[in-house]
Amino acid sequence: MDLILIRSVFVLSLGLSAYFFRPFHLNPWVAAIAGAATAGLMIVFELRVRALSLKRLFGAVIGSILGIFGAFLFSAVLRGSVPSGSVQDLLQIFVLLFMSYVGLVVGASKGDLLNLGALGSLFDNEAGTGGLKLLDTSAIIDGRIADMADTGFLDGTLVIPEFVLHELQMVADSSDSSKRQRGRRGLDILQRMQANAQLTVQIIEEDFPQIREVDLKLIELAKKMRAKIVTTDFNLNKVAHLHKVPVLNINDLANALRPVVLPGERMNIVILKEGKEYNQGVGYLDDGTMVVVDNARRLIGRAIEITVTSVLQTASGKMIFGRVDEAKPESVRSEPVRTLSGEVREMTGG
């Protein structure tokens, strides 16, 4: 709203100035209209410049400077080869405008190829835009995003647009008690993340009034900011991929981290040592996961088949608990096992 007021004052000021000073001896009203139109073109140019990334803006400036320098050299040649007069002046103006335009356009289009790391922290934000993550309403309500942040797995800046916050507030104010509870949970999750000193949470007012759907607004904002969308919404995930917008789906992460075995499954394990508790045996999977087996102390050194009873995920890693099926004696089978001394022996159930 402040920018609209400032731009309106700018257009009015330029129009009034042209009305009173009458450049080129124009009619006062014609001069006022021309001044206001010029101000409008300046505002359009300002909006286009604001949309440019810092690298492209820097490239446009360099290209313009090189274009003006090239036009100066051309003008020097023209002054020596073309007689002075209106033709020479027109050619010099044409060359200046042409070279400046080419330099501006080419410099802006190639600005992303510039390596500006040597300029220090000035371009840190530009380089770090890839670390921006836009949170969807579903990801906030889900709550696991806060747990991920607490463990330090999330880096960069978490961005919550105002339209997402507004949608979350509407859910929290819903007449449906279930929706209202979910919305309030989402607001609590946001407060929890803002209180995390190791996490940067930013609320932005960027909006797209011409787009009604929140999901499409989020996709457009992700394109503009070159950010990733964090969500648990299956449909948003699919639509974002169609728009070639990177998505971090919390459900996909949870599936990737699911246990390799589930309670009730059978697996083969070699009992290598006794456990801490009475009559326990301990073995290890290929990835180093500890397997604790009840009633397996007498089976140390043997390869047996067990039934998984539970899987425990701790901060130090994962542990699998199982038991020997005593009803099936064939669960203890003969298999060569390498001892600590390096000797290979055949272990049997007898």
Rounded Cα gap, residues 268 and 334, in angstroms: 12
DSSP string spanning 203-265? Answer: EE----TT---HHHHHHHHHHHHT-EEEE--HHHHHHHHHTT--EEEHHHHHHHTS-SS-TT-
> The domain that contains 307 carries what CATH number?
2.40.50
Looking at the fold, whether 108 and 132 belong to one and the same domain comes out as no
Looking at the fold, whether 205 and 315 belong to one and the same domain comes out as no
Residue 287 tokens read as 């990835």
Looking at the fold, whether 289 and 336 belong to one and the same domain comes out as yes
Tell me the residue length of the chain.
350
Q: What is the dihedral of CA 240, 244, 249, 252, to 10 degrees?
A: 120
Looking at the fold, whether 275 and 240 belong to one and the same domain comes out as no
Residue 55 tokens read as 């690298």
Looking at the fold, whether 239 and 321 belong to one and the same domain comes out as no
Nearest alpha carbon to residue 188 among 210, 172, 206: 172
Looking at the fold, whether 155 and 211 belong to one and the same domain comes out as yes
Looking at the fold, whether 20 and 91 belong to one and the same domain comes out as yes
Q: What is the 3-state secondary structure (H, E, C) of 73-137?
A: HHHHHHHHHCCCCHHHHHHHHHHHHHHHHHHHHHHHHCHHHCCCHHHHHHHHHHHHHHHEEEECH
Does 21 map to a domain? yes
Looking at the fold, whether 286 and 335 belong to one and the same domain comes out as yes
328 band by pLDDT with thresholds 50, 70 and 90: low
> The domain that contains 226 carries what CATH number?
3.40.50.1010
The pLDDT score that the predictor gives to residue 293 is 94
Q: What is the DSSP letter of 347?
A: E
345 band by pLDDT with thresholds 50, 70 and 90: very low
**Does residue 257 or residue 172 have the better pLDDT?**
172
Does 261 map to a domain? no
Q: Per the confidence metrics, is the pTM higher than 0.85? A: no
264 band by pLDDT with thresholds 50, 70 and 90: confident
The number of folded domains in the chain is 3
- Residue 195: Cβ-neighbour burial (10 angstroms; 0-12, 13-18, 19+): exposed
Range of the domain at 132: 126-256
Of 53, 83, 113, the position where a domain reaches its end is: 113
Run of H or E including 45: helix 28-51
Does 44 map to a domain? yes
**pLDDT tens, position by position, 127-153:** 444 578 999 999 999 888 888 888 888
**Residue pair 232/249 in contact by the 8 Å Cβ criterion:** yes
Does 198 map to a domain? yes
Of 60, 88, 113, the position where a domain reaches its end is: 113
Rounded Cα gap, residues 163 and 1, in angstroms: 17
Does 120 map to a domain? no
Terminal-to-terminal C-alpha distance of the chain: 86
Of 209, 225, 256, the position where a domain reaches its end is: 256
Of 99-113, 220-234, 255-269, which one has max mean pLDDT? Answer: 220-234
